[in-house]
Amino acid sequence: MRSVHAVLISLLLCLGACSSLPYMDPVKINVVGIEPLQGEGMEVRFAVKIRVQNPNDTTITYNGIALDLDINGQPFASGVSDEGGSIGRFSDTVVSVPVSVSAFSVIRQTYGISQMKRLNNMPYILHGKLSGGVFNTMRFVDSGTLNLPGSTTGKR
């Protein structure tokens, strides 16, 4: 009976501790650029530049970032960076994350693009996380369409 009481008291203390954590609005992410990087073998690499906005009244400190990029509903690229930093209250910063694209993904996307007969306005979804420790990791999602400069629509 004593052990049951001890467990209940422990659970109540844990719940009380969780409820005392401050509420944080999710970070806002926008893809602001994609630049080519040197790859190896049949691998293609890019630096994905994202703007991270902190809509909170407290500084966000992070010590790593991970990204997964889907294009046309298919996995396309993924990457990680151990870059760390902080984003001040009600502030933003641009973070660059190197991502890798497998040759298979390039072939799959090339086939999908040929089926769509266009290179512009490809839908993308970017999933990721800013790692800030056990209780401060922030996950994010951004979606939109890629607008490639100088792309063709397939019409003449």
> Do the domain assignments include residue 98?
yes
Model confidence pTM above 0.75:
no
**What is the domain extent for residue 39?**
24-146
Asked, for residue 86, whether it belongs to a domain, the answer is yes
Q: Is 94 exposed, middle or buried (0-12, 13-18, 19+ CB in 10 A)?
A: exposed
Q: Does residue 12 register a pLDDT over 80?
A: no
Q: How far is CA 108 from CA 3, 13, 101, in A?
A: 58, 52, 11
* Nearest-angstrom CA–CA distance, 105 and 100: 10
In a domain, 153, yes or no: no
Tell me which DSSP letter residue 147 carries.
-
Residue type, 76: F
Cβ pair 57, 90 in contact under 8 A: yes
Question: Is position 16 within any domain?
Answer: no
Please report whether residue 40 resides in a domain. Answer: yes
**How far is CA 93 from each of CA 47, 70, 136, 139, rounded to the nearest angstrom?**
16, 23, 18, 16
Say if 13 falls within a structural domain: no
68 occurs within a structural domain: yes
- What are the pLDDT digits (tens) for 84-130? 999 999 999 999 999 998 776 666 666 555 544 454 677 889 999 99
CATH number of the domain bearing residue 38: 2.60.40.10
pLDDT in tens, 50-91: 999 999 999 999 999 999 988 888 888 899 999 999 999 999
Is the separation of the CB atoms in 87 and 123 below 8 Å? no
- What six digits make up the tokens of 23? 């509420």
Which two structure tokens, joined as six digits, stand for 151? Answer: 């792309």
Give pLDDT, residue 3: 72
Specify the higher pLDDT residue, 1 or 131: 131
How many structural domains are present in the chain? 1
In a domain, 138, yes or no: yes
* Structure-token match 């693009």, residue found: 113
